[in-house]
């Protein structure tokens, strides 16, 4: 073949090869990026979100993020589900199972997101899954279930909500009454504002006043009288959680981590395998965090060595304004560009350390407190919102993850639940 003809034949082939190699390189780069994110225990949520949305197959990436078993990945997977598949489009069996199981997830944020998607899609499993929340030991979960039941029909809602009239929480009783008023057209004489908890000036915890209980009880009495007259109009309803929700549930491993305690000892989560562990993410400047410390102290005193409580201080993690330790006086290295100034960073860390140590001593904290200097553990459990609590069972699986303070009875119920946990 003449040289010119050979050159003419080779050139197109070379161009095609270059194009193939270019696209292969892009696919390889995306694959490496996805793999790195999936194996990262504590990536920024926005990076996981980017990974899912920019994947060659976002649904496959979503499932990979969910199946990774990592807290941040799973939260972003559920949040992306409604973005990728609008309410008017059907879900694949795999995604449907993920959504249903997410409504029973140990992570409260995942539950809330999943129930929101179920209500948006008018999913037939919503009523049963919302009703299932009413059996939870956490009043915040029960309240979530009640708020989602407003989307169901009176025939289903009324008999489902009636048992909640005996709930110990006045706000939950009042919320149940409001739902019954909506479905029945009756007025049971209670306003939600009359049953709100008020902050105790001494403890910082929110507490119900005597009048809250009185109002809730009076309204519940009227509702029960109405129910006695109208119960015959509502045939018994048996709501069954979809089988896919139970089959698709998987353990959420807590993994392992190592941090230093205030006395300089290295502490690993795996050191406590065989016991229930409560991990509380907090800072000295978070009033809600500090207000629940007495509950945790009482919990540790009650259970002794049968329960491990670990406080993880995130004081050294910059807040949204870039402050460290809640005090501008310990963040100078951030504003002066002294990130490489080891002395300035060490001095700032010591000030945070001293502040945490003073708080531990002043509050009489009787459980170990660890300092998460680089947000390695806080980032893994998405502990940026405070206080965040994670309960890990004896097998090392996450049984609860929630934001906000809880009372001693709720903590006790959660610990008892985790001790009996078995997949």
At 374, list the tokens: 């680089």
Range of the domain at 382: 258-419
The pLDDT, as a whole number, for residue 151 is 93
Considering the domain architecture, whether residues 70 and 23 belong to the same structural domain is answered as yes
**Domain boundary residue among 213, 234, 250?**
250
Strands 276-282, 388-392: pairing is: antiparallel
Torsion of CA 35, 36, 37, 43, to 10 degrees: 160
pLDDT at 299: 97
* pLDDT value at residue 354: 95
136 located within any domain: no
Q: What is the pLDDT of residue 332?
A: 45
Do the beta carbons of residue 396 and residue 254 sit within 8 Å? yes
Total domain count, the chain: 3
Evaluate whether 184 touches 158 at the Cβ level (below 8 Å).
Answer: yes
pLDDT by residue for the chain (423 residues), tens only, comes to: 565 554 555 666 656 556 555 555 556 566 677 788 998 999 999 999 999 999 989 999 999 999 999 999 999 999 999 899 998 899 999 999 999 999 999 999 999 999 999 999 999 999 999 999 999 999 999 999 999 999 999 999 999 999 999 999 999 999 999 999 999 999 999 999 989 888 776 666 778 999 999 999 999 999 999 999 999 999 999 999 999 998 888 889 999 999 999 999 999 999 999 999 999 999 999 999 999 999 999 999 999 999 999 999 999 887 666 666 555 544 444 444 445 567 777 788 889 999 999 999 999 999 999 999 889 999 999 767 899 999 999 999 999 999 999 999 999 999 999 998 765
| DSSP codes joined into one string, 369-418 | EEE-TT-HHHHHTTTTSSSEEEEE-TTSBEEEEEES---HHHHHHHHHHH
Residue 318: the pLDDT is 75
Which of 217, 234, 250 delimits the end of a domain? 250
Report the 10 Å Cβ neighbour count for 57. 9
138 in any annotated domain = no
Strands 388-392 and 198-199: unpaired
Nearest-angstrom CA–CA distance, 44 and 25? 25
Q: Are residues 59 and 161 in the same domain?
A: no
- CB burial readout 365-376, b (16+ within 10 A) else e: bebbbbbbbebe
228 and 263 share one domain:
no
Q: Using the 8-state DSSP alphabet, how is residue 338 labeled?
A: -
| Domain-ending residue, one of 102, 123, 144 | 123
Do 372 and 238 share a domain, yes or no? Answer: no
139 falls within a domain = no
For 320, phi and psi rounded to 5 degrees? Answer: -60, -25
224 and 265 in one domain?
no
Q: Do 268 and 383 lie in a common domain? A: yes
Indicate which CATH number applies to the domain containing 347: 3.40.30.10
The residue written with tokens 């978070």 in the block is 286
- For position 181, what pLDDT does the model report? 97
Helix (H, G, I), strand (E, B) or coil at 107: strand
DSSP string of 235-284? Answer: --------HHHHHT----B----EEEETTS-EEEGGGGTTSEEEEEEE-T
φ, ψ at 72 (rounded to 5°): -60, -45
Does residue 142 sit within a domain?
no
Residues 373 and 353: their CA atoms lie apart, in Å, by: 10
Q: What is the pLDDT of residue 344?
A: 75
d(Cα 257, Cα 254) in Å, to the nearest integer? 9
Residues 174 and 45 in one domain: no
Domain assignment present for 183: yes
Number of H helices, E strands in the chain: 18, 9
pLDDT at 343: 78
């Amino acid at each position: 073949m003449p040289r010119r003809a050979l050159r003419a034949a080779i050139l197109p082939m070379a161009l095609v090869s270059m194009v193939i190699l270019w696209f292969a390189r892009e696919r390889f780069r995306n694959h490496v990026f996805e793999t790195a994110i999936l194996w990262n225990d504590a990536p920024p949520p926005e990076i996981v979100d980017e990974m899912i949305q920019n994947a060659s197959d976002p649904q496959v990436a979503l499932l990979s993020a969910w199946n990774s078993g990592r807290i941040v990945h799973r939260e972003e997977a559920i949040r992306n589900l409604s973005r990728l598949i609008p309410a008017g489009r059907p879900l694949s069996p795999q995604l449907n199972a993920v959504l249903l199981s997410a409504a029973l997830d140990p992570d409260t944020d995942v539950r809330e997101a999943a129930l929101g998607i179920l209500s948006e899609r008018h999913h037939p499993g919503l009523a049963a899954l919302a009703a299932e929340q009413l059996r939870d030991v956490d009043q915040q979960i029960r309240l979530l279930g009640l708020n989602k039941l407003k989307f169901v029909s009176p025939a289903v809602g009324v008999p489902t909500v009636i048992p909640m009239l005996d709930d110990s929480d006045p706000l939950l009783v009042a919320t149940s009454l409001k739902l019954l008023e909506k479905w029945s057209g009756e007025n049971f004489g209670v306003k939600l504002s009359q049953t709100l908890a008020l902050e105790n000036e001494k403890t910082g915890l929110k507490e119900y006043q005597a009048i809250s209980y009185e109002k809730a009880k009076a309204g519940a009495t009227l509702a029960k009288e109405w129910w006695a007259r109208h119960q015959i109009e509502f045939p018994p309803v048996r709501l069954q959680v979809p089988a896919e929700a139970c089959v698709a549930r998987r353990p959420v491993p807590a993994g392992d981590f190592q941090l230093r305690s205030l006395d300089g000892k290295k502490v690993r989560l795996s050191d406590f395998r065989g016991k229930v562990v409560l991990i509380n993410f907090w800072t000295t400047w978070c009033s809600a965090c500090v207000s629940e410390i007495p509950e945790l102290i009482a919990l540790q005193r009650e259970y002794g060595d049968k329960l491990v409580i670990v406080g993880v201080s995130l004081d050294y993690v910059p807040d949204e304004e870039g402050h460290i330790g809640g005090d501008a006086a310990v963040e100078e290295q951030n504003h002066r560009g002294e990130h490489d100034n080891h002395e300035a960073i060490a001095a700032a860390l010591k000030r945070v350390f001293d502040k945490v140590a003073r708080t531990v001593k002043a509050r009489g904290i009787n459980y170990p407190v660890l300092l998460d200097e680089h947000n390695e553990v806080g980032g893994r459990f998405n502990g940026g919102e405070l206080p965040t609590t994670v309960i890990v069972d004896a097998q090392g699986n996450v049984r609860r993850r929630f934001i906000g303070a809880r009372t001693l009875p709720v903590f006790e119920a959660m610990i008892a639940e985790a001790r009996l946990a078995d997949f």
